[in-house]
Copies of this chain bind each other. A is one copy, B any other.
């Protein structure tokens, strides 16, 4: 799970969000404590807590004060088709030596410009 080196709350948010929705973190599975996450990513507790808050607002996790934080029931795993397409895109990009950043930018660009428009 810990591979990159995020710094901001948004990046930590995105990291867990991705882990949950891709199925790497299963339903009901426990997340590291806020303090642990803060240590892992070398950020202040407040920053890690902020990320968790954001995930909770979106219903991805459930926190009980002394019992820790767990993946919300049903929040895990986006539909298989999405995950498979994401895998396919990642594979294609790496094969063509396209950066993750560029790949995301391309994805943003074609978002809402695909099914409706078919140029050329």
Q: Residues of A with Cβ closer than 8 Å to B?
A: 3, 14-15, 17-19, 21-22, 24, 78-79, 81-83, 85-96, 98, 100-115
Contact = CB atoms under 8 A, between A and B. Distances in A.
Nearest to A89: B85
Contact of A89 (B89, B101, B102, B112): B89
Given A78-B98, A108-B18, A115 B91 contact: yes
A114 B96 contact: no
A113 B103 CA distance: 16
Given A18-B104, A21-B98, A22-B109, 10 more contacts: A15-B105, A21-B109, A22-B105, A78-B93, A82-B103, A86-B103, A86-B107, A89-B107, A100-B108, A104-B104
